[in-house]
Structure 1
Amino acid sequence: MNVTDRTQALRRAAAGRIARAIAVVLVALGGAWLGIALGGPVHAAVGPVEIGMSAEPSWAGETVVDAHPLGTLLFDTHNAPVGLRITLENINPARAGALLDDPRISGQFPALLEKELREGVKTLILRAALCGLAGALVAALIVFRRPGPALASLLSATVMIAGTGAAVAVTFRPNSVVEPKYTGLLAGAPSLVGDAESIVTKFESYRVQLAKLVNNVSQLYDAVSTLPVYDSDPESIRVLHVSDIHLNLIAWNLIHSITAQFKIDLIVDTGDLTDHGTGPEDKFVKEVSSFGVPYVFVRGNHDSKATQRAVGKQKGAVVLDDSAETVAGLRIYGLGDPRFTPDKSVVVDSDPESLTALGRAHATRLGQAFEPVDLVAVHDPTIARAFSGAAPMVLAGHSHERSTELLPSGTRLLVQGSTGGAGLRALEHDEPTPVAASVLYFDRKTHRLRAWDDITLGGLGEQSVQIERHVETDPGRTISPGPTGAPSPTGSPSGTTTP
C-alpha cells in the first residue's frame, strides 16, 4: 500500500470514528430525553396544592406553572436547554383552610412552601437524572447491541446531564418569580398573577411571593367560593394605558374588563381614538363616560379638534393639550398631536428632526411654566423622546407596536400598541394586529412607577390574554435633562405614514 492509499484509509477510518461518535451522542441524547419524559415526572404536595413536576426540552430555559383551566404562568428562571413544568393538579381544601386562616401557620407559610418545593425539585432532579441515564443506556443497547457503544452513550448522557444541571445552577434567578408572563383568560388574570401590594411593596422577597402565588391558586380552586376579588392596594395608583383604538368597539369591552378586574384608578388614552375625526365618529366617544374613573385623553394624528371637544364633553373626561392637571393623585401633562392626518388641514413638518424640536420646545415650556409633573402623555414616540428628563414617565402610541426603553436621562418611555387592534387595519396583514393595553402601578407616596403589566389579546378580539409583568428596578432614580435619543425604531417615520 502506497502513501496515498494509506492516507486515504486513515481518513476513512477517522471519518468513521467521528460518525460513530456522533451517532453515540445522538442516541444518548434521544434516549436520555425519552427516559426523562417517561419516568422523570414526580408528584408532590406544596402547601395545600398537589402538583406534578416534569423536566422538558426548552431552549429558552424557563419554568411554567400550568393552572388549567385558568391559564399558565411562565417564569424566566434560568438559561439552560431544559425547562421545568409544574402542573397544579388538585387542592386539599382542609389544609388550604388551615394554612390561610391560622395565623400561627400562615407566619411559617413561606418557609414551609420553600422547603416542600425544594424537596420536590430535588426528587425531580434525582429521578430525571437516573431515568435519563437509564434511557441512554437502553437506547444504545437497542441501537448498537454492543457494550462498548452502550457505555460510551452512558458516559455521554452523564456529561450532558451534569452540564445541564451546572448551567441551571449557575444561571438560576429566584427573583424571576415577581415577573411572570401570564397566558389564559382575562377574568382569572389578576387573582392568579397576584395583587398590586405583592408587586409593588414585596417584590424583593422570593419566599413571600411564593406564598402569595400559592394563596391565590388555593383560593381560585376553592370549589365553594367564587373568584377572589382583586383587593385594592392603598400604596399604589393603578393607571390603564390605552392607545390607537381606531373606532374598534372591542377596545371598549377590554377597557371595561380591565378597569373592573384590576381596580383601575384612571385611564390614559394617548390618541387616535377615531379614524378620520368626522362628526359621525364623535358618537363613538360617548363610551368614555361609562367607565366610572377619570379618562385622560391626548389627541392623536387621526383625531380632529372636534373629536377632542367631543371627548371633553363626556363625564369623567380630562382632555390635555399643552396643559397639566392632577388626576387621581398624579400630576399629568398632555400634548395633542400637532397634525391632523386624514385631511392634511394642519400643515406641520413631520420630519423626525422637526418633531423632536417641537417636543423639546414644549418640554422646555413645561419645565418653566408648570410645577413638576409625574407623567407626560403624547401620541407620537418621536415627540415623546423629546420630553426626556422632563418627567419620570412618558406615555405614547402611534406605532401600533408596544415597546419600552429607559432614556439616558432616567425617563422611562412606554409606547403602547393598538388597544383597538388598529381597527380595520387589523385585516390588512396576514396576522391580525394584537389588542394591547398596560396597567401601570405608581407608588401613592412617591408617584413613581413601581411595576407594570403588559396585556395582549390576540387580534380580532380573541378571549385569551397574555399578561407579562415587569418590575421597575430603580424606581427612585434621579431624573435629569439629557439627550432625547434617536427617532423611534418601531413603526414608520411619523410624517409620511399614518398608523
Structure 2
Amino acid sequence: MPKVRAASTQAFAALRAQAARARAACSPVTRRARPVLGSRWTRFSLVVIVGLAGGYLGLLAGGSYVTPVGPADVQLTLHPSLHGGTTLKLPPLGALQLDTHGGPVALEARLTDLRPDQAKKLIEDETELDRLTDQIAGQLRHGLAELLLRAVLIGLATSFVASLALFRSWRRALLGLGSAAAGLVAVTLITWGTFNPQSIAEPRYTGLLANAPQVVGDARSIVERFSAYRAQLARLVGNISELYATTSTLPTYEPDPSTIRVLHVSDIHLNPAAWNVIKSVSTQFKVDVIVDSGDLMDHGSKPEDKFADEISGLKVPYVYVRGNHDSKETQKAVEREKNAIVLDGATREVAGLRIYGLGDPRFTPDKSTRDDYVGADQLRAEGLRHADELRKSGKLPDLVLTHDPTEGEGFSGVAPMVLAGHAHARSTRLLPTGTRLFVQGSTGGAGLRGLEHEEPTPIELSVLYFSRASHRLQGWDDLRLGGLGLTSAQIERHLEPAPDRAVTPQPPAASPPASPTSPFPSEFPSDWPSRTPSPTTTPSRTPSPG
C-alpha cells in the first residue's frame, strides 16, 4: 500500500506540473482576453445574442398551426430561410412557391386532410361555393393570426428562459427578452417592407402542378382585383376538393402488398415536364417498375441523349423499348442509366414479372427515311415472326412491350398482355386470343406535336396492378392531365373483368405481305437495297450490307 500511495502521489504531482505549465503558456492570451470578456459591452452583446437566438428558435418551434380552410385542413408552418417566401403544398399534386416576402422566416401551407362529406356538398351545390368565398378568407386570417401569436409567445418565452438559465440573472434575462422582442419587430418590418403582392403572378410549380400552372387562373388580373382573387381562391379550393373526392368513388379493388405496380408511360417526345409527372406518380402510387414503350426523343440525335439522364433519378427499374423516333444512339444513352433495362428482342424478369421487349424496326424522325414505306401488314408480320421465335423458345413472358400497336398485335396469344404506344391516344381491347392490347397515350403531351391539333394533346400515363401470385392484370388507373393551356386532371379506375381468362395461341408468322406504299413489297426495310430505285427501275434483290 505505501508503494501504491507513493506512485499515486507522483502521478498527481506530474499532472499538476503539466497544468501549471499550460496555464503559464496561456497566461499571456488569458491576460489579454480577460479585459475583453469581462467588459460590460461584451457581456451585453452575449446577452443580446442569446436572446435573439432563443427568440428565433422559439419562433420556429412554436410556428405550427392547423386551421380549417373550407372542406380541408391546412397546416401552417414557419421554417428558417435565407430568402423568405411562401410554399403551398398539395400532396400528391406537388407544390406552388411564391416570392411573397424576404427575411429569415418562410411560410409553408400544407393540405393535410379533406372532409369528404363537406367536399361532396361543395361540389354538388354551387351556392356553397359562393358562400365559401368569404369563409376561407376569414379562416386564413384567423389561422395566420393564431400561428403568429403562438410563435411570438413561445419565441419570447424561450428567449427569457435561455437567458435566465445561462446568466442566472433576472436583469439579464429581461434584457434577453427585450432583444428577442426587438428581433421579432425587425423580422416583422422586413416582412412588411419586402411584401410583394405581385408574387402570385410569378409562381413556381413543382410536381404535377408544374404541368398545369393555369390552376390559379389569370394571375395578373387576380393581382389587380383582390375580390376576384378571393373568388378564384374559393374555386381553387373547390377544384382541389373535387380532385381529391374522386379517389373515394373509385371501384372497390384495392392494391395491396401482394400487388405488383407497373407505371406505363410512352411517347414522351423530349418534354422535360414529363419527368415531373412520372416522378410524382411513381412516388405517390409506390410503383415497382416503370415501362416506357418508346419515342423518348424527337429526332434521335446525339444532343438529345442528355435528356435520358433524368431516368436515373426515378429510383425504380425503368424498362424501355426503342420507338420510331429513337435511334440506336438513343438506345445506348438509355442503357447507360444505372436503373434502365433496355429490351430489344429479349426477356428479363423485373419486379417479379417476365417482360419481353422489342424495339421498333423503323427510324422515322422527320418522315424522310426509307422506313416510311413500311405498311401495317409488314409491321404485323414482323411481330408475328418474333412471336413465333418466342413461342418456340418455350419461355413465354407475362408482358410484351412494343412501340407500335400494329406490331404488338403479332404477339397475340403469346402473353396475357401487350403494351404499346405510338398513337398518342390511349385505348385498350381484348384480342380474339384473350390477349389484352393496351395502347398508352403520350406522357409528354406529344411534345411540340401536341400543338398541331385544335386542342393540345393531353398528358397520359397509367398504373397497372398485377397479381404477384398469378402475374395477371387485376386492374389499372388511367391518369390524364390537360395539355398546354388546359387545367383538367382525371383519375379513372378500371377492373379487369376476367383476370384469369385463357390465352390461346394463334398460327405462326407468315412471310411479310405486300404494303401498298413499299417499293419492295415482300421485304422489310432492313433488307432493302441501299438506294431506293425510281418507279421505272426494276428493284434489285441484293440486300444492303448494313
| Secondary structure of the corresponding residue to residue 476 of structure 1 | coil
Q: 2:120 maps to which residue?
A: 66
Question: 2-side partners of 1:471 and 1:237: how far apart?
Answer: 15
Which amino acid letter does the alignment assign opposite residue 199 of structure 1?
Y
Question: 2-side partners of 1:241 and 1:454: how far apart?
Answer: 10
- Residue of structure 1 aligned with 2:453, choices 429, 444, 448: 429
Question: Are the counterparts in 1 of residues 250 and 492 from structure 2 also a CA contact under 8 Å?
Answer: no
Report which of the two has the higher share of helix. 2
Residues 49-82 of structure 1, C-alpha deviations (whole Å, 9 max, x = no match): 7858xxxxxxxxxxxx83768xx9xxxxxxxxxx
Q: 2:160 maps to which residue?
A: none
1:450 aligns with 2:474: yes
Structure 1 spans left out of the alignment, 5+ residues: 1-47, 53-64, 73-83, 91-182, 202-232, 485-492
Which amino acid letter does the alignment assign opposite residue 391 of structure 1?
A
Which amino acid letter does the alignment assign opposite residue 468 of structure 1?
E
Question: Are the counterparts in 2 of residues 338 and 348 from structure 1 also a CA contact under 8 Å?
Answer: no
Question: 2-side partners of 1:186 and 1:277: how far apart?
Answer: 42
Question: 2-side partners of 1:369 and 1:242: how far apart?
Answer: 28
Residues 122-158 of structure 1, C-alpha deviations (whole Å, 9 max, x = no match): xxxxxxxxxxxxxxxxxxxxxxxxxxxxxxxxxxxxx
Q: How does 1:461-472 map to 2 (within 5 A)?
A: 462=486, 464-472=488-496
- Residue of structure 2 aligned with 1:199, choices 241, 253, 264: 253
Residues 327-386 of structure 1, C-alpha deviations (whole Å, 9 max, x = no match): 000000000000000265664751111111111001111112251210000000110111
Q: 2:403 maps to which residue?
A: 379
Structure 2 spans left out of the alignment, 5+ residues: 1-113, 133-237, 509-515, 520-546
Q: 1:256 maps to which residue?
A: 279
Residues 381-428 of structure 1, C-alpha deviations (whole Å, 9 max, x = no match): 110111110100000000101100011100001100000000001111
| Secondary structure of the corresponding residue to residue 254 of structure 1 | helix
Which amino acid letter does the alignment assign opposite residue 394 of structure 1?
V
Q: 1:312 maps to which residue?
A: 335
1:244 aligns with 2:267: yes
Question: Are the counterparts in 2 of residues 184 and 465 from structure 1 also a CA contact under 8 Å?
Answer: no
1:235 aligns with 2:258: yes
Flag the 1:309–1:49 CA change in 2: closer, same or farther, 3 A: closer
Question: 1-side partners of 2:343 and 2:357: how far apart?
Answer: 5
Question: 2-side partners of 1:253 and 1:190: how far apart?
Answer: 23
Flag the 1:50–1:338 CA change in 2: closer, same or farther, 3 A: closer
Cα offset for 1:482?
A: 3.2
Which amino acid letter does the alignment assign opposite residue 477 of structure 2?
D
Which amino acid letter does the alignment assign opposite residue 420 of structure 1?
G
Question: Are the counterparts in 2 of residues 200 and 451 from structure 1 also a CA contact under 8 Å?
Answer: no
| Secondary structure of the corresponding residue to residue 324 of structure 2 | coil
Question: Are the counterparts in 2 of residues 402 and 416 from structure 1 also a CA contact under 8 Å?
Answer: yes
Which amino acid letter does the alignment assign opposite residue 451 of structure 2?
L
Question: Are the counterparts in 1 of residues 419 and 440 from structure 2 also a CA contact under 8 Å?
Answer: yes
Q: How does 1:408-423 map to 2 (within 5 A)?
A: 408-423=432-447
Flag the 1:355–1:238 CA change in 2: closer, same or farther, 3 A: same
4+ residue stretches of structure 1 with deviation over 6 A? 87-90, 493-496
Question: Are the counterparts in 1 of residues 246 and 491 from structure 2 also a CA contact under 8 Å?
Answer: no
Question: 2-side partners of 1:188 and 1:495: how far apart?
Answer: 49
Cα offset for 1:192?
A: 2.8
Q: 2:10 maps to which residue?
A: none
1:335 aligns with 2:358: yes
RMSD: 3.5
| Secondary structure of the corresponding residue to residue 276 of structure 2 | helix
Q: 1:358 maps to which residue?
A: 382
Q: Which has the larger radius of gyration?
A: 2
| Secondary structure of the corresponding residue to residue 66 of structure 1 | helix
Flag the 1:476–1:460 CA change in 2: closer, same or farther, 3 A: same
Q: 1:266 maps to which residue?
A: 289
Cα offset for 1:253?
A: 0.8
Flag the 1:50–1:440 CA change in 2: closer, same or farther, 3 A: closer
Residues 435-492 of structure 1, C-alpha deviations (whole Å, 9 max, x = no match): 10011000011000000011100002755410111100100001111389xxxxxxxx
Q: 2:300 maps to which residue?
A: 277
| Secondary structure of the corresponding residue to residue 469 of structure 1 | strand
Question: Are the counterparts in 1 of residues 360 and 404 from structure 2 also a CA contact under 8 Å?
Answer: yes
Flag the 1:282–1:313 CA change in 2: closer, same or farther, 3 A: same
Question: 1-side partners of 2:329 and 2:244: how far apart?
Answer: 37
| Secondary structure of the corresponding residue to residue 267 of structure 1 | strand
Question: Are the counterparts in 1 of residues 442 and 459 from structure 2 also a CA contact under 8 Å?
Answer: yes
Residues 9-38 of structure 1, C-alpha deviations (whole Å, 9 max, x = no match): xxxxxxxxxxxxxxxxxxxxxxxxxxxxxx
1:299 aligns with 2:354: no
Question: 1-side partners of 2:339 and 2:485: how far apart?
Answer: 26
| % same residue | 55
Aligned residues: 291
Question: Are the counterparts in 2 of residues 403 and 414 from structure 1 also a CA contact under 8 Å?
Answer: yes
Q: 2:309 maps to which residue?
A: 286
